[in-house]
Amino acid sequence: MSTTITSAPAVDTLLDRRSIRRFKPDAIDSQTVDALESAAQHAASSQFLNDWSAIRITEPSLKEKLAAIGRQDYIATAPLLYVFVLDEHRNAIIAETKGVDVSEQRYTLRYGYRFSQAQNDAVLALHAMETAAESLGLGCVILGSLLNDIPELIAALHLPKYTFPVLGLAIGKPDQEPASKPRMPRSMQFFDNTYPTDDTPVRELATFDDEVHRYYDLRNAARPVDAFSDQIASIAEDETALDRGLCDAEAQGFDLGR
Ligand SMILES: Cc1cc2nc3c(=O)[nH]c(=O)nc-3n(C[C@H](O)[C@H](O)[C@H](O)COP(=O)(O)O)c2cc1C
């Protein structure tokens, strides 16, 4: 358990957060599911547009399919699995009932600013659900890997025009106890008033590198993880993510250049 600065249970939950990638097979009861979904719905929403939806993945074959897309077996074993999508489809239907022209040139919720705000809303809702789950003793892992193949994911979930997948969230009773992953010295990440012009953002990097290198990830417990700078260096020149571009958003009716 991390050192807490207050005794508030919500803060303790947040400070104790770590990703869980192995779940007990126990089903999650419906009251808990209600609480989690309600917590997600109570997250803030930009201009109250409520422009996100979440797909519950309950079909085992669909879970397997998502595990194949994510190339992570534990996705299929999650008792609860959601895919959060940004959703301007529902708002198009609603606007249309009020006589608004939602054809591509006229519908302003399909442009870049709204897309990014809707993505924020979806992430905030997902995070509220994650925190609620953890406060109830459940474990979670966020799944960006579902975006390995965005067209395949869109097809599998039948996502309509003006929707786009954001992230998955796997939830279940934890069947592992990973150590808390180190976080940066706060001086590297919090600045006063303006972004520093000196070396403040990296001044304590060597200390952080050491700390990260001493951490053991349960996914590969045989060796310590790479130092933080080595991880950044390798991801900075990794080209595999280039085909996971938001250009797929165009096929869903969005125009992010505007
Ligand atoms: C946007 C996002 C996408 C992520 N995608 C995955 C994923 O696909 N698979 C996975 O195992 N972990 C995923 N994670 C979890 C991160 O690897 C994890 O949060 C990070 O290594 C820090 O570890 P911790 O959560 O245990 O503190 C994701 C986290 C975020 C925020």
Q: Which two tokens stand for residue 141?
A: 């892992």
Tell me the average pLDDT across 183-197.
97
Atom of ligand 1 at shortest range from CA of 123: 1
Looking at the DSSP bridge assignments, the partners of residue 139 are 172
Atom of ligand 1 nearest to the CA of 146: 8
- 55 contacts: CB under 8 Å, gap ≥ 6: 82, 83, 85, 157
* pLDDT at res. 6: 60
Q: Provide mean pLDDT across the span 58-63.
A: 98
Q: Whose CA is nearest to atom 9 of ligand 1?
A: 143
Nearest-5° Cα angle at 256, 130 to 116? 25
- Identify the weakest region by mean pLDDT among 1-15, 18-32, 41-55, 70-84: 1-15
Whole-number Å distance between alpha carbons of 53 and 89? 10
Domain boundary assignment for the chain: 9-177, 186-236
Centre of ligand 1 from the C-alpha of residue 101, in Å = 40
Distance from the alpha carbon of residue 142 to the mean position of ligand 1, in angstroms? 6
pLDDT class for 80, splitting at 50, 70, 90?
A: very high
Q: What pLDDT score does 5 carry?
A: 56
Outline where DSSP puts E strands in 132-252: 139-143, 163-172
Which of 14, 123, 143 has most ligand 1 atoms within 8 Å of CB, for mutation?
Answer: 143
pLDDT bracket for residue 158 (50, 70, 90): very high
The CATH superfamily label for domain 9-177 reads: NADH Oxidase (3.40.109.10)
- Per residue in 112-156, pLDDT (tens digit) is 999 999 999 999 999 999 999 999 999 999 999 999 999 999 999
